[in-house]
Amino acid sequence: MNIIDQLIAGYHRFRDGYYKENRERLVELAHSGQSPKVGVIACCDSRVDPAVITDSTTGDLFVIRNVANLVPPCEGEGVWHGTSAALEFAVCGLEVEHLIVLGHSQCGGIRSLIENQETQQENKFIASWMSIASEARERAYKDFHTVDQQAQACELDAIQISLRNLKTFPWILDRMQQNKLQLHGWHYNIVSGDLLRLDPDTGNFVPL
């Protein structure tokens, strides 16, 4: 059975299992619309699924996925702003009460940043996007010696950069000042299964 056949078989299991068991809720969501309380900025990495990690069900999370779970600063120079548009919908449209930046270990985007792959023309889209976290790379170079140490430090630092960038969007800052929105930084270790959170008081990541 090839991979597409496996996906189709999986769909039939879903249709005969999960869908039937949860049909009432799914139909209600279809008619009434979504109203998640939590937005998650996560990585595209296939090993890191926010719904699986948090054992959430359909309709619980509004998930925004991109390379290395980065948030760009608020700016109007470019034309295509997929992440910013999704954030605008989550905050202004759905009025989520929490935004979580969910980073993870062994992130390929962070690794490409550490290894300076922006010098390769074939990676120009990734390099341009990863430049959002370039200051994290410079700090990692300064403080650590091995690539693994630098990548791990950069993963955590990039989460804090994204949290800082979230505050450059006026409608996010406004809702925070009204105590209607909270920001969170999390890091998931795909080997150990550990989940860390950023302590805003100390600036350190601690176990959840």
Neighbours of 182 (CB within 10 A): 14
Domain boundaries, the chain: 1-33, 34-207
Q: Which residues lie below 8 Å from residue 193, measured CB to CB, with a gap of 6+?
A: none
pTM: 0.94
Residue 171 is predicted with a pLDDT of 98
CATH number of 34-207, picked from 2.60.40.10, 3.40.190.10, 3.40.1050.10, 1.25.40.10: 3.40.1050.10
Distance between CA 183 and CA 164 in Å, rounded?
A: 10
- C-alpha Rg value of the chain to the nearest Å: 19
Q: What is the pLDDT along the chain (208 residues), one digit of tens a residue?
A: 899 999 999 999 999 999 999 999 999 999 999 999 999 999 999 999 999 999 999 999 999 999 999 999 998 777 779 999 999 999 999 999 999 999 999 999 999 999 875 555 667 899 999 999 999 999 999 999 999 999 999 999 999 999 999 999 999 999 999 999 999 999 999 999 999 999 999 999 999 9
Residue 120 is predicted with a pLDDT of 57
